[in-house]
Amino acid sequence: MENSRTYTYYPGCSLQATAHAYDESMQAVNKQLGLTFNEIDDWNCCGATEYFSVDALPAYSLVARNLSLAVQSNGSQDLVAPCSACFLNLRKTNDYMSKYKDLNSQVNQALAAGGLSYEAGALNVRHLLDVVIEDVGLEQIKTKVTKPLSGIKVAPYYGCLIVRPETGYNTEYPTHLDELMVTLGADVVDFPMKTHCCGGHMTQISEETAYELIRRLLQNASDYGADAIVTLCPMCQLNLDAYQNEVNRMFGTNFHIPVLFFTQLMGIAFGLSENALGLGSEIIPAGPALAKIGTVDEQKTRERPKRRDKKALPMPSMDSGGNE
């Protein structure tokens, strides 16, 4: 049996909510790979992608608090973040505090108000995919495959966040996720837009702009014959999955492409149960695509109820008298 590996773990907000399937499938796969993730106590939100544009110093301080707590946990110096936005913020803060002395001083002054401090560079911030590829390795992963993903065509979608730090990725055309899918037995299609932005939180600001960005990605995957899109970013998964029907309504398209986390496909290839991998929580049902593998029953993956039209949502009463 392989030696177990232990890491300090920062889950981030998404894996506790909309991306719970990512967390569930990751934990299930970790057991198969001998990985132990020790969650940081009392961690806080990383600020997502917007806070740094609002007020930089509080944003860096917010992230640095997590770094400080990670060091205090006396765990591994490798801090793992499965969420690409969390990974970018943690990595950026760690690197910038090392590079810019004034920022380091100001952030530590803010941390001191809470009885904390952080020595820049004390941790090695890593994405989950890096751990899987670099520490476990494709050869070891291949030995765990009991049900190859033969018969399904997948488009590996990295998104724009994971390739921003200098982590050894080809920023224009990374291949780590592609290689992992091939190892699992999947048919990997070319996906030229694999690092294009999904729009992030633009869905809350300009639907027209956001839906066009999502449409382009879905169209690109469809043009290359993908049965499913596989990703490593909660925001990317949410946008392409949750807003796919909205895109169809706006543009008159007919996309039905399930968007899954790479850990879910790893779990399927390892022979793990659908429930353990959070399958069925996606908006666009994965059953038809996964049925092509021959290991997943299309009828078992439940379909989500259709969301009501926005115009049908009840509006609150604006009675000036304050009465219902």
- pLDDT at site 304: 47
Structural domains in the chain? 5-128 (1.20.1050.140), 144-300 (3.40.50.11810)
**Residue burial 166-178, b: 16+ Cβ < 10 Å; e: rest:** ebebeeeebebbb
pLDDT class of 323 with cuts at 50, 70, 90: very low
- Give Dmax (Cα) for the chain: 71
| Residue 156 to residue 162: CA distance in whole angstroms | 13
Q: Is the dihedral of CA 270, 271, 277, 279 positive or negative?
A: positive
pLDDT over 90 (residue 45): yes
- pLDDT at residue 316 in the model: 39
pTM for the predicted model, two decimal places: 0.89
pLDDT tens digit sequence for 84-104: 999 999 999 999 999 999 999
51 has pLDDT over 90: no
| Long-range contacts (CB closer than 8 Å, 24 or more residues apart) made by 102-107 | 103/57, 103/60, 106/57, 106/61, 107/57, 107/60, 107/61, 107/64
Euclidean distance between CA atoms 247 and 132, whole angstroms: 33
Average pLDDT for 176-190: 98
DSSP string computed for 107-149: HHHHHHTTT----TTSSEEEEHHHIIIIII-HHHHHHH-SS--
33-37, 72-76, 233-237, 303-307: least confident range: 303-307
Distances (CA, A) of 145 to 5, 31, 231, 251, 314: 20, 14, 19, 40, 49
Residues with Cβ within 8 Å of 206's Cβ and at least 6 positions away in sequence, in order, are none
Record the tokens describing residue 184, joined without a space: 């699992």
